[in-house]
């Protein structure tokens, strides 16, 4: 069993690593301690786990700052790297590079160039949706989509199709709140084309299906009940899990989602 003196020395060594800008080494030290010391008291094990989570968050934030710190000259090089008449693949690759650097505004600017014809726009819709979802929260997404659609599209039918496509992509990638916000926005308009009505009906049905198991889990979760007899902690529990998922997503590799 790991003694208190050993724990203190490991903690000191990890802090030294962190103070010298080596958070990954500190994290590895704590992870090795957890994997090799199966009899640690629960309180100490929980404390070490929290240390690891803090370090991983530090690593994620450092990577984000490093990606966003590229210079204007570097941005210009990326944008001008394909000559005077870049094709679809060249422009898409440039946008993808910016996306992977978490420069979502610059990425969207590149993808917007892929509106020279209907075929290009259709192929780029997923990439544009990914940028818009990264740049805007659920409440702001509809206005941003409408603004972009106004720049790129002419007919009202094309605009409705574009809005619906963004909602479909958001739901496919797990951004239910973004999808719901877009769905509500589309439904505010009257005289929707039959094809759009069919697509938003399918969206609404899928949103309802994905939410019903969650509602069931909250209803049967044991715990303190409120005045109406329902579990008062259920919503807090689900909100905490959602927040944890958002934190974890920040540390994942930043890739364009599959269209």
Q: What is the DSSP string of 174-211?
A: T-HHHHHHHHHHHHTSSS--HHHHHHHHHHHHHHHHHH
Up-side HSE of residue 19: CA atoms within 13 Å toward CB? 6
Spatial CB neighbours of 169, under 8 Å, sequence gap ≥ 6 = 125, 126, 129, 130, 133, 257, 259
Which of 196-229 are b and which e, b meaning 16 or more Cβ less than 10 Å from the residue's Cβ? beebbeebbeebeeeeeeeeeeeeeeeeeeeeee
Give me the residues of the chain with pLDDT under 50, please.
1, 61, 210-233, 250-253
| pLDDT tens figures, 154-212 | 788 888 999 999 999 998 888 889 999 999 999 888 888 899 999 989 999 988 864 43
The pLDDT of residue 246: 55
Q: What is the DSSP string of 57-90?
A: HHHHHHHHHHHHT--HHHHHHHHTTT-SS--HHH
The pLDDT of residue 115: 82
| pLDDT tens figures, 47-60 | 788 778 777 655 65
* Nearest CA-CA partner of 31 in 48, 7, 9: 48
Evaluated on CA atoms 149, 143, 249, 76, the torsion sign reads positive
């Amino acid at each position: 069993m790991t003694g208190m003196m050993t724990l203190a020395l490991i903690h000191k060594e990890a802090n030294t690593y962190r103070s010298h800008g080596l958070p990954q080494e500190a994290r590895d030290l704590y992870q090795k301690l957890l994997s090799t010391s199966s009899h640690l008291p629960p309180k100490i094990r929980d404390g070490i786990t929290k240390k690891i989570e803090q370090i991983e968050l530090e690593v994620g934030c450092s990577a984000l700052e490093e990606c966003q710190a590229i210079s204007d000259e570097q941005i210009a090089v990326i944008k001008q790297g394909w000559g005077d008449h870049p094709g679809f693949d060249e422009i898409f690759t440039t946008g993808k590079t910016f996306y992977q650097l978490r420069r979502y505004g610059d990425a969207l600017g590149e993808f917007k160039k892929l509106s020279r014809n209907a075929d290009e726009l259709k192929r780029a819709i997923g990439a544009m949706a990914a940028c818009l979802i990264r740049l805007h929260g659920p409440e702001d997404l509809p206005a941003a989509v409408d603004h972009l659609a106004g720049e790129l599209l002419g007919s009202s039918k094309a605009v409705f199709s574009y809005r619906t496509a963004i909602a479909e992509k958001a739901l496919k990638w797990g951004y239910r709140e973004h999808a719901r916000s877009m769905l509500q926005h589309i439904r505010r308009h009257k005289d929707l084309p039959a094809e759009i009505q069919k697509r938003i009906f399918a969206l609404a049905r899928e949103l309802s299906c994905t939410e019903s198991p969650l509602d069931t889990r909250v209803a049967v979760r044991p715990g303190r009940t409120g005045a109406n007899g329902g579990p008062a902690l259920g919503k807090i529990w689900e909100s905490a899990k959602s927040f944890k998922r958002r934190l974890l997503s920040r540390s994942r590799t930043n890739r364009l989602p599959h269209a």
